[in-house]
Amino acid sequence: MAASTPRTAAPIRILTAVPVCDGHDSAITTINLELARHGIEVIYLGYHQSASAIARAAVQEDVNVVGLSSYNGGHIVFFREVVAQLRARGGGDIPVFGGGGGTITPADARVMRRQGTDRIYFAGTPLATMMAEIRRDYARLPRAGGPARGDHALARAITRAEHRLRRPARAAPARGGAFVVGVAGPGGAGKSTLIDELTSRFLRRCPGGRIALLANDPSHPGSGGAILGDRVSAIYAQDDRVFFRSLATRGSLTGLSAAAPAAIDLLRRSGRFDLILVESVGVGQESDPFGLFGRGPRLVDATLLVLAPHYGGRIQLQKIALLNGADLVALNKCDHAQAHTARSEIQARLDQNGRGQALHATTAARPFDPGVDALFAAIARRADLRAAPGGEKPCQLEIRA
């Protein structure tokens, strides 16, 4: 049963993670679910995470606080390094708390507090006490501009755009600048993993370029909380040339956060990125998150629809509106037993459209998958994305009119 928690205009955003050399996540998973039940947006980074990865993610996500679950015994050194990395990246105002069952002693906690850790929760602390203290102590209004620079300033601008909204807004973002690809598809199709593999190819092809990833996940309609878990699949987001921001839908039923158009606009106008990939919430048969069919402004330059082989048969394909309008279509998880049949059925459906749509067969979970290579090459052609020889200068994008 969902917790009965009053809504706030600005949900608390918490980044949670498990430190490097700590190979389990059972405790943090329990805490994540409890946080979401209490109306908190949880950006989960995963386990075996370095201090630099945690700090990078916390700054890009502009979180209220970082929460760490540590059971490996290296907590004094590790928490100190996370605090130091946050300060070095301009996130010194982001507090850090944590817990570790019986591995963090009261004496350790006193040392950690002197080094900058805000609070340690010990074994036996009631979950209700934790939730009440987190909601009381880490809620804050949107932070003003101030001295933030680079990715930190951009992250805060996106946060301010989220908080300014009172109802879903679908104003068209500015055109030009970075090429924007909207990625849609049903839940479980492997969109996040495929985006990560496309990111790896961008980083190799454009050694001086930057890519931005905007990941939308659903808010719980009861509590208002959310588990924003797409960073777990984002292995290549550890590169400083990748800007990754998670957005909760917060009641928007479009498949995107109401703040997504403003966030896309900010990313374009920043002039820092060559390519932007925007992942929608898992969509249904009538969904049109990027405005392909004229019911609202078109938010992206191209749309990629990702399907998996288990879509339910030909009659289901006839119902999927995005198959009519998508610029790019990928059948992912092609190592599945049903992939051969699915590929034939989807290609026949695309042929009926008469638009020359190509079907890309991908297995994003397989390293160096040639299907992902071909899909990235198709995106690069649409974007006029050209590799920089020798990595001497950034990639340049020339947007076609």
The pLDDT value given to residue 282: 86
* 315/295 Cα distance (integer angstroms): 25
7 — pLDDT class (breaks 50, 70, 90) = very low
Report domain extents, the chain.
Answer: 13-138, 174-391
pLDDT in tens, 339-368: 999 999 999 999 999 999 999 999 999 999
Whether the pLDDT of residue 169 is over 80: the answer is: no
> Mean pLDDT across the stretch 4-12?
59
Residue 185 has pLDDT above 90, yes or no: yes
Greater model confidence, 293 or 166:
293
pLDDT value, residue 273 = 96
Residue 283 has a pLDDT of: 81
Q: What is the pLDDT of residues 72-97, one digit of tens each?
A: 889 999 999 999 999 999 999 999 99
Q: In this structure, how many other beta carbons lie within 10 angstroms of the beta carbon of residue 215?
A: 26
Averaged pLDDT for residues 311-325: 90
Q: Distances in Å between the alpha carbon of 311 and those of 118, 279, 318, 361?
A: 47, 19, 11, 15
Residue 400 CA to residue 350 CA, distance in Å, equals 24
Mean pLDDT for all residues in the chain: 88
Would you state the pLDDT for residue 20? Answer: 85
Adjacency order of strands within the sheet including 179-184: 242-248, 211-217, 275-279, 179-184, 302-307, 328-331, 359-361
Compute the Cα dihedral for 106, 110, 111, 117 and give only its sign.
Answer: positive
13-138 and 174-391, same CATH topology: yes
Q: Which residue, chain included where needed, has tokens 């996940």?
A: 217
Q: Span 309-336, mean pLDDT?
A: 93
Percent of the chain whose pLDDT exceeds 90: 73
Q: Whole-angstrom Cα distance, residue 218 to residue 250?
A: 7
Taking only the tens place, the pLDDT of each residue in 18-75 is: 998 776 788 899 999 999 999 999 999 998 999 999 999 999 999 999 999 998 889 9
CATH topology assigned to domain 174-391: Rossmann fold (3.40.50)
What is the CATH number assigned to the segment(s) 13-138? 3.40.50.280
Retrieve residue 207's tokens.
Answer: 């050694």
Q: What percent of the chain has pLDDT over 70?
A: 89
Q: Flag whether pLDDT at 401 surpasses 70.
A: no
Query: Which of 149 and 247 is assigned the larger pLDDT?
Result: 247
pLDDT tens for each residue of 232-262: 999 999 999 999 999 999 988 889 999 999 9
